[in-house]
């Protein structure tokens, strides 16, 4: 079983569309994250949830809205997609935060045309 799974793996869409990426972890972790990795391979955190509560919210446009229906799921909804949103988005989870090992999903490659 995949510990952290995210869907879809690839997402190609037009500018202005709204799309969602789903993430689920079966590790029993309390904390989940969304990261963005751009074309230059910089990996930057976007959001972090602990037990469904938002605890880290980096400077991300309001068009990005995370939703955590329960502590095993953290979905990312993106409104009005722009060209600059093209990147690979990674979901991760950890037992708590900071020092604890983070387990990453395989990533969702988003291409906005």
Partner 1 sequence: LAKTTQPISMDSYEGQEVNITCSHNNIATNDYITWYQQFPSQGPRFIIQGYKTKVTNEVASLFIPADRKSSTLSLPRVSLSDTAVYYCLVTKNFGNEKLTFGTGTRLTIIP
**Contact residues for partner 1 (CB under 8 A)?**
4, 35, 41-45, 48, 50, 55-56, 58, 90, 92, 97-99, 101-107
Least Å from the CB of residue 41 to partner 1: 7
Q: Tokens 């029993």: give the residue.
A: 28
Of residues 87 and 92, the one with the C-beta less far from partner 1: 92
Of residues 41 and 69, the one with the C-beta less far from partner 1: 41
CA–CA separation, 32 vs 53, rounded Å? 10
CA–CA separation, 84 vs 91, rounded Å? 19
């Amino acid at each position: 079983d995949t510990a952290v799974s995210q869907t879809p793996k690839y997402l190609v869409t037009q500018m202005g569309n709204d799309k969602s990426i789903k993430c689920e972890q079966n590790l029993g972790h309390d904390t989940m994250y969304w990261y963005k990795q751009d074309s230059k391979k910089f990996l930057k955190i976007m959001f972090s949830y602990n037990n469904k509560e938002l605890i880290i919210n980096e400077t991300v446009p309001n068009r990005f809205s995370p939703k955590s229906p329960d502590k095993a799921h953290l979905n990312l909804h993106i409104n009005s997609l722009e060209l600059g949103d093209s990147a690979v988005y990674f979901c991760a989870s950890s037992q708590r935060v900071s020092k604890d090992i983070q387990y990453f999903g395989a990533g969702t490659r988003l291409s906005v045309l």
